[in-house]
Amino acid sequence: MMDNLLTEEQELTSKKVGRAQGMFGLASLEDRGMVMLINLDFTEGEFAGSTLSMLGRNPIQNTVRELPIVGGTGGFRFARGYAIAKSLWDISTSEHFIVEYDVYVSHP
């Protein structure tokens, strides 16, 4: 289970825009592939009250990977697209693992 801070930029002091909430688990016997369901719950800005949903395989051993956007709510209703996830090893710590998501969506 996860319930993590969602910020505009990489730094923990960056403006909070919501929460990344969901669940994940190992899904492969051969590598570190996970199945992940993450809801990006926006609480600030133009899309406050809206969510985006990612669901798919996440090969966490790769520094850069792609996850599908499978839907959303509010301003993102009927959203489709993808997110590029990038692990930021150089600024992550044992207490805070930083992942940058570049999200590309089509929505009404």
Whole-model pTM above 0.95? no
What lies within 8 Å, CB to CB, of 58 at 6+ separation is 24, 33, 34, 35, 36, 65, 67, 85
The string of pLDDT tens digits covering residues 72-103 is 999 999 999 999 999 887 777 777 778 899 99
Range of the structural domain that residue 99 is part of? 2-106
The string of pLDDT tens digits covering residues 13-38 is 899 999 999 999 998 888 888 999 99
107 close to 72: Cβ distance less than 8 angstroms: yes
DSSP-assigned letters across all residues of 32-63: -EEEEEEEEEE-SSTTTT-EEEEEEEEETTSS
Alpha carbons 83 and 80: distance in angstroms, whole number: 10
Alpha carbons 33 and 54: distance in angstroms, whole number: 15
Number of domains in the chain: 1
